[in-house]
């Protein structure tokens, strides 16, 4: 009876199966995986024509001072035209200035709604957003002036 238990506990085929590496599969001519980066049978196709290099204009960021906080503006794309001509302000400084001037309630907040216009936004009983007041900070003429300023700094 003890002999029968030992026969049943050993598998019929006592050899363990091992996975073959990609190198072993290549040697035997077996399948290689699609994701094998060492597959030398595949060749990259190169374009037949040579293209001229593309000339890209370099934009040199102007660093004007903010009209509100007097700190340099590092990214002119994130700035708005200031109150005076040739003045620029950080986006965050403009929001801070409007918040100080308008003093919205806790439920209200200042939000940018596009084209240089801000609004004091409130939610009604149904949860919809309502504009309490619109504040035009940057006119279309000032925006065009700023656009020309940035275009003029390209080389």
107-118 pLDDT tens trace: 899 999 988 889
Pairwise CA distance, residues 84 & 36, whole Å: 63
What pLDDT is stored for residue 51 in this prediction?
81
Using an 8 Å Cβ cutoff, are 139 and 84 in contact?
A: no
Pairwise CA distance, residues 135 & 126, whole Å: 25
Q: Compute the half-sphere exposure of residue 52: CA atoms within 13 Å on the CB side of its CA.
A: 3
Confidence class of residue 154 from pLDDT cuts 50, 70 and 90?
Answer: low
Tens of pLDDT along 13-62? 556 667 767 677 666 665 555 555 555 556 667 767 778 888 887 666 66
Mean pLDDT, residues 129-142: 87
Confidence class of residue 99 from pLDDT cuts 50, 70 and 90?
Answer: very high
Tell which residue, 102, 149, 155, 108, has the closest CA to residue 131. Answer: 108
pLDDT at 63 over 70: yes
Domain boundaries, the chain: 76-152
Mean pLDDT of the chain: 76
Pairwise CA distance, residues 112 & 131, whole Å: 11
Non-local CB neighbours of 65 within 8 Å, separated by 6+ positions = 71, 72, 73
Using an 8 Å Cβ cutoff, are 78 and 94 in contact?
A: no
155 versus 27: which is more confidently predicted?
27
CA dihedral 130→136→140→144, nearest 10 degrees, is -110
Pairwise CA distance, residues 134 & 120, whole Å: 7
Pairwise CA distance, residues 75 & 78, whole Å: 6
């Amino acid at each position: 009876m003890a002999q029968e238990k030992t026969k049943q506990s050993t598998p019929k085929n006592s050899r363990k199966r091992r996975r073959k590496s990609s190198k072993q599969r290549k040697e035997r001519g077996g399948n290689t995986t699609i994701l094998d980066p060492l597959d030398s049978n595949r060749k990259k196709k190169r374009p037949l024509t040579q293209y001229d290099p593309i000339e890209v204009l370099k934009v040199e960021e102007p660093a004007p001072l903010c009209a509100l906080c007097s700190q340099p503006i590092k990214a002119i794309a994130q700035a708005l035209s200031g109150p005076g001509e040739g003045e620029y302000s950080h986006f965050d400084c403009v929001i801070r200035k409007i918040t100080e001037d308008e003093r919205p309630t806790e439920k209200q907040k200042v939000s940018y709604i596009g084209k240089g216009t801000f609004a004091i936004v409130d939610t009604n009983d149904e949860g919809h957003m309502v504009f309490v007041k619109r504040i035009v900070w940057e006119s279309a003429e000032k925006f065009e002036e700023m656009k020309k300023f940035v275009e003029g700094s390209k080389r």
